[in-house]
Amino acid sequence: MSNIFRIGVLIAGFVFLYAPIAILAAMSFNASRLVSVWGGFSTKWYAALLENEPLIESTKISLAAAVLSAVIATFLGLLAAVALARFGAFRSRMLFFGAVHAPLVLPEVVLGLALLSCFVALGIGRGFATLVIGHVTLTMCFTTVALLSALRSCDLALEEAAMDLGATPLQAFALVALPQIAPAMASAFLLAFTLSLDDLVIASFATGPGATTLPMRIFSQVRLGVSPQINAISTLLLGLVALALGGSALVMQAGKRRGL
């Protein structure tokens, strides 16, 4: 590949990836309501957001659900990854492995439908709790995969040495393996957090009238057309995710510097 051609392809690729996002962010500062007309720089759409009670309420619900479900999903993913990486060939390993990975490839509409049918059959009222359950079920397969690959690249000999020196398996894991996979835990948490914050389909099935998430509210407004307020909230969300990404990159680098 000649250099000029290579650089041209890279530029074209990155323009394709970033131009729509950049235009969206620029539009959020457009004083004009019309996409096609630049009415001058303005932050009035951001100011309007602050007065939009339902939107703020949904943002709070989304953030709370994302934090809570990411904590639970990281914990469950850690246990599942430990079982798959450390327990050898236990009975029902294949079923466990398949069940852990299946939601990765299942259409979200199907998972949402199944969860809703289940809640209704069991008579569980839908709301914040079922929203978190849905998001944990969706994201724990991602955290499991991330943590499984981290655990597999850990040096087992270190844990064995700790056990030879008298540590219990639990001590050896907590004191030797866990610090090694701490950066992976952080990125698994962030992955689950952003997936939950982003999710529309599972939330629509799993939540009740009291707990409308931010994507659900955005979605219902987007159907009515492009609105500058949605551009503003989208830009804020993009900024939030960029911060989370930068944070995880820093965590990873700090981990590397410590030689982990």
Instruction: Choose the binding region for other proteins from 10-18, 46-54, 63-71, 149-157 (rule: CB under 8 A).
Output: 10-18
Of residues 151 through 190, those in contact with other proteins by CB under 8 A are 169-170
Residue 208 buriedness (CB in 10 A; 0-12 / 13-18 / 19+): middle
Residues whose CB falls within 8 Å of the CB of residue 259, separated by 6 or more in sequence, listed in order: none
Please check whether residue 217 is in contact with residue 55, taking contact to mean a CB–CB distance below 8 angstroms. yes
| Tokens describing residue 137 | 């079920």
The closest of 174, 219, 197 to 68, measured between CA atoms, is: 197
Q: Per rule CB under 8 A, is residue 50 in the interface with other proteins?
A: no
Name which position in 242, 243, 250, 254 contacts other proteins (CB under 8 A).
242
Instruction: Choose the binding region for other proteins from 44-52, 153-161, 174-182, 232-240 (rule: CB under 8 A).
Output: 232-240
Name which position in 4, 36, 157, 224 contacts other proteins (CB under 8 A).
36
Instruction: Choose the binding region for other proteins from 52-60, 147-155, 159-167, 196-204 (rule: CB under 8 A).
Output: 196-204
- Kindly tell me which of 144 and 212 has the beta carbon lying closer to other proteins: 144
| Tokens describing residue 151 | 């655990």
Nearest-10 crossing angle of helices 228-257, 214-222: 140
Name which position in 40, 54, 107, 259 contacts other proteins (CB under 8 A).
107
The closest of 213, 61, 105 to 205, measured between CA atoms, is: 213
Name which position in 47, 245, 250, 254 contacts other proteins (CB under 8 A).
245
Instruction: Choose the binding region for other proteins from 34-42, 148-156, 159-167, 176-184 (rule: CB under 8 A).
Output: 34-42
The CA distance from 145 to 188, in Å, is 9
Q: Per rule CB under 8 A, is residue 93 in the interface with other proteins?
A: yes
